[in-house]
C-alpha cells in the first residue's frame, strides 16, 4: 500500500515538474513574443528604399560615404598601394594588444596632437606622458568606449550635445548610461549658426557637465565655429569646468588638408599645457579621410593631468575594452601604419588624394548652388557649409516630395550627402529642388 502510494506520489511529482518546465518555456516564449519591432535606421532605410526604386534618375543623398563623379565608391590609390606592401611583407595575423599596436598609437598622437612635428604644445603633452591613446572600432566604437569610461569614472552623467547633431550620438551616449541634453547650435529659420543662444545655453548648464564638440565639418549642418568663436566657447568651458569630448570624424574634409582642420585641437592642447582645461578626450576616425569605412579604424585619446594618471586610465581602458571586443581589428590600422611609414613614400600621395576628393565635393557644392533658383529661396548658406553634407533647410514635407516625385532620397531633416551628387545628376537634382520649393 505504502509502495503504491509512493509510486503515485512520484508520478505526480514528475507530472508537476513537466508542467513547471512547460510553464517556464511558455513564459520565455511570451517574453520573445512581446519584444516590439524596432524602427529601422533612418539612413539605412533610405538606402533600402533607393535600391528598390526603378527610376533610372534616382539619387541617393543619404549615405555618408564618398562617391566619385561616376557615383561609385573608391579605394584611395595610396591605400591600395599600402595593401600591396602589406601583402608582400605581412607575416602574421595575430591579435594586437587590447588598445592596439604601439606604432598605431604613436602615429595617431603625432599626427593629431603634434601635427606631424609642427605643434610644440602637442609635443609637450606627448613627452609628458599626458596622452593616452587606444585604437578603437572606428568613430562609433571610440564614442562608445569613452561614454562607458565616463559613466564609470566621471561624477556628472550629463552630456551636452549640439542641436542638431549626428543621430547616433544620442543613442550611443544613452546606451552607455549618460544623460544627453541639447545645447543650441543652429537656427533653422535663418540657416545659420545660432551662436548667441549657443553661448547662453552652455552658460546655463551646471558646472562639470560633459560637452560634445565637433572638431570640424559639423554633422549634419556643415557649419563650424570660427577661431574667434571657439575662443569664446572654450572660455565658457573653462569657467564652467566642463569636460570636453571632441568628435573628429571628418578631419581633412573642411579644407582638404588634415593639418588645417584641427585648430580646435591646437587650442585645447595649449589650454591643457596651461592647466586651464587640464583634461579632455578626442574620438577620431580614418573611415572618411582614408576611405577605410568597412575597416573600422579609429582611436580614442584622453588628455590626462599627468603621467601618473595616464597609467591608471590606460589600465581602465584595457579593462573596459577586454569584455566588449577583446582587441581591435588590425588590417585598417596596418594600412595607416604603412601610409605613415616614411620608407613607403605614401603619406604625401594620400594627402594629395584627400585634397582632390574634397576639391570635387566643393566643386559639386558650387554647381548645385549655381543651378538653384534664388528667386524663391536664399541658398547662400550652402556655400558657408563645409564637409560631406549640405544642410539644405528643406522641410520634411519637401524632402518626402523629392523622394516621391523625383526619386531623390535624403534624410527628412534636409541633410544631403553631396558625395552622391555628380556632373550627371546635379542639374536634375537642382531642378527637382526648385520645383519642390516653388510648389510650397
Give the separation between CA 309 and CA 320, rounded to whole angstroms.
16
Q: How crowded is residue 89: how many other Cβ atoms within 10 Å of its Cβ?
A: 9
Catalytic residue among 81, 109, 270, 288: 288
Residues in Cβ contact with 434 at an 8 Å cutoff, skipping those fewer than 6 apart: 372, 373, 376
Q: For the chain, how far is it from start to end, CA to CA, in angstroms?
A: 91
Helix axes 263-273, 227-240, angle to 10 degrees: 40
Question: Phi, psi (5° rounding) for residue 134?
Answer: -130, 135
Does 128 participate in catalysis according to the annotation? no
Please say whether the beta carbons of 335 and 292 come within 8 A: yes
Q: Distance (Å, rounded) from C-alpha 141 to C-alpha 286?
A: 12
Closest CA to 143 of 242, 282, 241, 15: 282
Q: Which residue, 58, 97, 47, 141, is CA-closest to 322?
A: 97
Q: Which of 109, 119, 148, 166 is catalytic?
A: 166
Q: Decide if 247 is catalytic.
A: yes
Cβ contact 95:326 at 8 Å: yes
Which one is catalytic: 148, 247, 261, 413? Answer: 247
Asked about 166 being catalytic, the answer comes back as: yes
Residues with a known catalytic role = 166, 247, 288
Amino acid at each position: 500500500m505504502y509502495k503504491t502510494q509512493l509510486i503515485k506520489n512520484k508520478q505526480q511529482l514528475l507530472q508537476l515538474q513537466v508542467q513547471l518546465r512547460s510553464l517556464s518555456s511558455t513564459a520565455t516564449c511570451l517574453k520573445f513574443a512581446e519584444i516590439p519591432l524596432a524602427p529601422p535606421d533612418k539612413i539605412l532605410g533610405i538606402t533600402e528604399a533607393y535600391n528598390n526604386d526603378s527610376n533610372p534618375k534616382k539619387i541617393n543623398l543619404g549615405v555618408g560615404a564618398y562617391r566619385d563623379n561616376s557615383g561609385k565608391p573608391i579605394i584611395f590609390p595610396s591605400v591600395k598601394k599600402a595593401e600591396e606592401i602589406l601583402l608582400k611583407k605581412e607575416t602574421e595575423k595575430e591579435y594586437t594588444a587590447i588598445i592596439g599596436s604601439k606604432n598605431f598609437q604613436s602615429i595617431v598622437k603625432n599626427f593629431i596632437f603634434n601635427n606631424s612635428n609642427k605643434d610644440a604644445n602637442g609635443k609637450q603633452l606627448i613627452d609628458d606622458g599626458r596622452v593616452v591613446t587606444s585604437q578603437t572600432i572606428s568613430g562609433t566604437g571610440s564614442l562608445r568606449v569613452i561614454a562607458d569610461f565616463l559613466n564609470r569614472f566621471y561624477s556628472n552623467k550629463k552630456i551636452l550635445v549640439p542641436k542638431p547633431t549626428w543621430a547616433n550620438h544620442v543613442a550611443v551616449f544613452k546606451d552607455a548610461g549618460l544623460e544627453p541634453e541639447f545645447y543650441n547650435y543652429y537656427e533653422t529659420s535663418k540657416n545659420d549658426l545660432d551662436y548667441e543662444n549657443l553661448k547662453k545655453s552652455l552658460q546655463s548648464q551646471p558646472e562639470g557637465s560633459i560637452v560634445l564638440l565637433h572638431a570640424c565639418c559639423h554633422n549634419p549642418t556643415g557649419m563650424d565655429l570660427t577661431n574667434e568663436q571657439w575662443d569664446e566657447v572654450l572660455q565658457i568651458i573653462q569657467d564652467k569646468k566642463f569636460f570636453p569630448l571632441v568628435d573628429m570624424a571628418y578631419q581633412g574634409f573642411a579644407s582638404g588638408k588634415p593639418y588645417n582642420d584641427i585648430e580646435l585641437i591646437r587650442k585645447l592642447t595649449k589650454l591643457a599645457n596651461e592647466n586651464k582645461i587640464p583634461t579632455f578626450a578626442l574620438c577620431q576616425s580614418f573611415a572618411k579621410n582614408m576611405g577605410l569605412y568597412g575597416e573600422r579604424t579609429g582611436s580614442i585619446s584622453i588628455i590626462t593631468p599627468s603621467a601618473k594618471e595616464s597609467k591608471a586610465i590606460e589600465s581602465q581602458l584595457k579593462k573596459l575594452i577586454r569584455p566588449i571586443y577583446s582587441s581591435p581589428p588590425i588590417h585598417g590600422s596596418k594600412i595607416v601604419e604603412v601610409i605613415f611609414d616614411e620608407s613607403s613614400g605614401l603619406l604625401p600621395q594620400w594627402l594629395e588624394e584627400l585634397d582632390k576628393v574634397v576639391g570635387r565635393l566643393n566643386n559639386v557644392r558650387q554647381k548645385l548652388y549655381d543651378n538653384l533658383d534664388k528667386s524663391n529661396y536664399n541658398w547662400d548658406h550652402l556655400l558657408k557649409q563645409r564637409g560631406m553634407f549640405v544642410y539644405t533647410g528643406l522641410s520634411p514635407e519637401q524632402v518626402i516630395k523629392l523622394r516621391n516625385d523625383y526619386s531623390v532620397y535624403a534624410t527628412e531633416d534636409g541633410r544631403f550627402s553631396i558625395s552622391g551628387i555628380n556632373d550627371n545628376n546635379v542639374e536634375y537634382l537642382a531642378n527637382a529642388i526648385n520645383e519642390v520649393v516653388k510648389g510650397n
